[in-house]
Chains A and B, each alone.
Chain A
Amino acid sequence: GAVVSQHPSWVICKSGTSVKIECRSLDFQATTMFWYRQFPKQSLMLMATSNEGSKATYEQGVEKDKFLINHASLTLSTLTVTSAHPEDSSFYICSPLGIYNEQFFGPGTRLTVL
């Protein structure tokens, strides 16, 4: 099956700092990448959809200037949480779209903002 990695898997940062999360599809190329956020004991909420080489499309209520998405290559996408605050603490999961439009999921990155 498809292999998706995320780095880091766990990060703690101080309020006001920025954190970059990397998502790599290791054995396939993904034109489309989805980024999800999951708060404790809740479901996955789609934050944004990005296509390689294009600007991301953000879901309603997600600030595009706060959650910067870069999808510069077919195997790497990054999500940067800028000026993080405690309410941004969450589990962030990337999901690249396979060539048959199936979604694969990364293992997730747990962000804790102090």
Chain B
Amino acid sequence: GEDVEQSLFLSVREGDSSVINCTYTDSSSTYLYWYKQEPGAGLQLLTYIFSNMDMKQDQRLTVLLNKKDKHLSLRIADTQTGDSAIYFCAERGATSGTYKYIFGTGTRLKVLA
């Protein structure tokens, strides 16, 4: 079945780069997403990448996609304390035409001042 895995924790110092990794299993995934969730809040879409791309950059965020290895990463440059949150990757395939999202387990990023 579909499965999306992430490491659970990441701790970095303010100003350093953060790299959050994600692996997925559904080769039919058309879009892959990164969401940010702050404590007690809903999900905020950060960025997404289409499956025929291998890189996308958006200000401090860089997404890398290795479709062969089904590996996705999110790099946050110049990480700030306000970036402390849980980050979820999600894949969206076209299984049964439902466009169902499968979320990863989430990576809790802690930024140390």
B103 and A43 form a contact (CB under 8 A)? yes
Interface size counted on chain A using CB atoms at 8 A: 20
B43 and A97 form a contact (CB under 8 A)? no
Q: Which of B67-75, B76-84, B94-102 contacts A (4 or more CB under 8 A)?
A: B94-102
Which B residues are in CB contact (< 8 Å) with A57? 98
- Bound CA–CA A42/B106 (angstroms): 7
Interface hub of A6, A43, A49 (most chain B Cβ within 10 A): A43
B41 to chain A: closest residue by CB: A107
Which A residues are in CB contact (< 8 Å) with B106? 42-43
A101 and B105 form a contact (CB under 8 A)? no
Main SS class of interface, A: strand
B40 and A93 form a contact (CB under 8 A)? no
- Bound CA–CA A45/B105 (angstroms): 10
**Chain B interface category by residue count:** 10 to 19
A93 and B101 form a contact (CB under 8 A)? no
A110 and B40 form a contact (CB under 8 A)? yes
B42 and A97 form a contact (CB under 8 A)? no
- Bound CA–CA A113/B40 (angstroms): 17
Judge if B88 is at the interface, Cβ distance under 8 Å.
yes
A93 and B88 form a contact (CB under 8 A)? no
- Tell me which residues from 50 to 86 in chain B have a Cβ below 8 Å from any Cβ of chain A: none
| Residues of B near any A CB (own CB < 8 A) | 35, 40-45, 88, 92, 98-101, 103-106
| Residues of A near any B CB (own CB < 8 A) | 6, 32, 34, 42-46, 49, 57, 93, 95, 97, 101, 103, 105-108, 110
